[in-house]
Amino acid sequence: MWLIVTIELVTFAIIGGALAYLRRDQPAVFHAGQAALSPIVGLGYTLLLVTSGWLAAEAVAALRRERRARARGLLLAAIAFGLGFVGLKLHDGAGLIAAGHDLGSDDFWTGYFFATGFHLVHVAVGVLLLAVGAARTRRGDADDAEVVEALVLFWHMCDVAWFILLAVLYTGA
Amino acid sequence: MRAFAFVALLSLAGLSLAVGAFHLAVALAAVKAVVVGLVYMDLRHAHRAHAVGFVLGVALLIAVLAVVGG
């Protein structure tokens, strides 16, 4: 899983670098696009993801202590916050599209929708992996903690990737 | 430790958005990534080389972002 996480983070770093370059190369376009973004919504995304990541980390710690029911509950709560992120992203995205912004509007919106859409796909996959982890806590196998830890690792990668996007896209919004 | 990390991550994100300075936001993103790596990904208990590699990787990434972003 570490190899996957490393590859994904390098990919998000390249996307972040491209957005940062756009920010410097076309400041007027970038800042005009940012004017449509709400820092409060950006903080809302962060709250949902970071809370979910914390709950998932607590779930791994509980599973290591063989507290399976608690671990399962924490993972289900982490999934709920992850789904909250997906819901907010879809609602926010629909609002931006309704306001006339889309992939082809200009370079900012192409970058915004590509980067956040790519991240959203990873969050959706991460939610599925957390669900697999929650199911795994019922099995009682000896390697459950290791398996769930690996799955949760992917979820934390989504956190780190979001920090990059938050800094590049929302700073100055 | 994990609860403290949670509060720290939210506080840093809030500070980053409130200040609105790109280079500070990028630096704070690096700090948040390291906190997640060491506390949530449990790298503080991993082999030292892995933890150092993660921190150096984040530092390199943030340096590149700061330079490219101008």
For the stretch B18-52, pLDDT in tens is 888 888 999 999 999 999 999 998 888 878 888 88
**A123 touches A85 (CB < 8 A):** yes
Closest residue of B to A160, CA-based?
Answer: B33
The residues, any chain, with a CB within 8 Å of residue B60's CB and separated by 6 or more, are none
| A 128-167 residues inside an 8 A Cβ radius of B | 149, 153, 156, 159-160, 163-164, 166-167
CA–CA separation, A89 and A95 (whole Å): 10
Short-list A47, A58, A109, A116, CA closest to A82: A47
Contact at 8 Å (CB) between A33 and A52? Answer: no
Q: Are A41 and A92 in contact (CB under 8 A)?
A: yes
Question: Please, is B31 exposed, middle or buried when counting C-beta atoms within 10 Å of its C-beta (0-12, 13-18, 19+)?
Answer: middle
DSSP B44: G
Residue A139 pLDDT > 90 = no
Res. A140: pLDDT tops 80: no
Model pTM? 0.91
CA distance B39 to chain A (A): 9
For residue range A35-80, what is the model confidence (pLDDT) as tens digits?
999 999 999 999 999 999 999 999 999 998 889 899 999 999 999 9
- Whether A58 and B20 lie within 8 Å, measured CB to CB: no
Inter-residue contact A60 to A149 (CB < 8 Å): yes
**Radius of gyration, alpha carbons of chain A:** 17
> Rounded CA gap, A19 and B68, in Å?
9
Q: How many structural domains are present in chain B?
A: 1
A2-170, CATH topology level: Four Helix Bundle (Hemerythrin (Met), subunit A) (1.20.120)
| CB of A161 closer than 8 Å to CB of A14 | no
Q: Model confidence over A71-120: pLDDT tens digits? A: 999 999 999 999 999 999 999 999 999 999 988 889 999 999 999 999 99
Q: Please name the residue that has the structure tokens 């697999």.
A: A132
Q: Which domain holds residue B39?
A: 2-69
- Within a 13 Å sphere around the CA of A69, how many CA atoms are in the beta-carbon half? 0
What type of residue sits at position A46? T
Q: Is A38 on the interface with B (CB under 8 A)?
A: no
Q: SS3 of A38, please?
A: coil
Q: What are phi and psi of A139, to 5 degrees?
A: -75, -40
Kindly state whether B10 is in contact with chain A, defined as any CB-CB distance less than 8 angstroms.
yes
Helices (H) and strands (E) in chain A, counts: 6, 0
CB contact under 8 A, A9 and B36: no
User: Is there a contact between B39 and A57 if contact means CB atoms under 8 Å apart?
Assistant: yes
